[in-house]
Amino acid sequence: MEPVMITLGCIAIFGVAISLMVFVRQLCLSRDKQLNDKANYEALKLEAAELARFRQDLAEQERLTAHYYILGENKEAIKNLDDRIDAIFHQKMTLTTRYTDIMLAQTKTILSDESTIEKQALLIKLKEEVAKELDRLDTEIAHLQTKRTQLWQTHKGYQTRLLEQEKIRNAKLDELFLQQTLTLEKVMIGHASVAASFAKDTLEASNYSIKTLFATPLEYLFAYFRATPEPASEEVLTEKLRRESLLETLDDLNIQEDVASQRNVLVAQRANSLKTAGI
């Protein structure tokens, strides 16, 4: 029984070693995921700082009002249209900044694995609704600008400068929305990819550990208690042919011995016959 006990002891040690290996691999996978999430958190901090600076620049941008002092006819109507356009820009700014605040908060939730598929679907729907509202506001701004152009009779240079300023202001708001949308999508896709890869690696590690932990010791046991292994088919055929050849050789030798024995008997009988006849 001593060899059996030694075998069982080796199997137990092997099982412990495999368990430790699996544990270390799981730690490495978890550490890689944590490092990736940490890098995403740092990127989000930089993104938040950049967005704050961007919003501050938009808030500090001054409207052009010099044309109010030189316009004569339709001055009050033009000023009224300017105020309405500026109010729409403020609506767009408020909507965009609220959207970016929500997206930043939710991307942190996604990275902390507290978000669900339903919440992410709601975020995508929110993005679509905000995009529709921004398009509506852009259409309204363009309509008011057209009306203002029709009323602006003199000093067209001021009108060109004002339109250019409003165009830049609108483009920055659109950029703010687009930038935050891309950040959210990048975090969602990247986090989903990392989570899927982590789950796949974990499953493969678990399957490998279970297979190795149970299958390998059993193979060792079978190898220990198994009888002498049967030779391969080619070896069996070769051995069979060798034995048949040996048997044929033995048969030939036996036949030759029988012939020689019979010849000796005949010679002896003939000698006796001649002796009896007195020859």
Q: HEC profile for 25-62?
A: HHHHHHHHHHHHHHHHHHHHHHHHHHHHHHHHHHHHCC
| 242 and 162 belong to one structural domain | no
Cβ atoms 254, 40 nearer than 8 A: no
Domain that holds residue 8: 2-225
| 201 and 259 belong to one structural domain | no
- How many domains are contained in the chain? 2
| 221 and 236 belong to one structural domain | no
What pLDDT score was predicted for residue 183?
A: 72
| 132 and 86 belong to one structural domain | yes
| 241 and 221 belong to one structural domain | no
The region of weakest confidence among 49-53, 110-114, 132-136, 174-178 is 110-114
In whole numbers, what is the pLDDT of the chain averaged over residues?
71
The pTM score is 0.55
Q: Average the pLDDT over 76-105 and give the result.
A: 86
pLDDT in tens, 44-85: 677 777 777 777 777 777 777 766 667 777 788 888 888 899
| 106 and 13 belong to one structural domain | yes
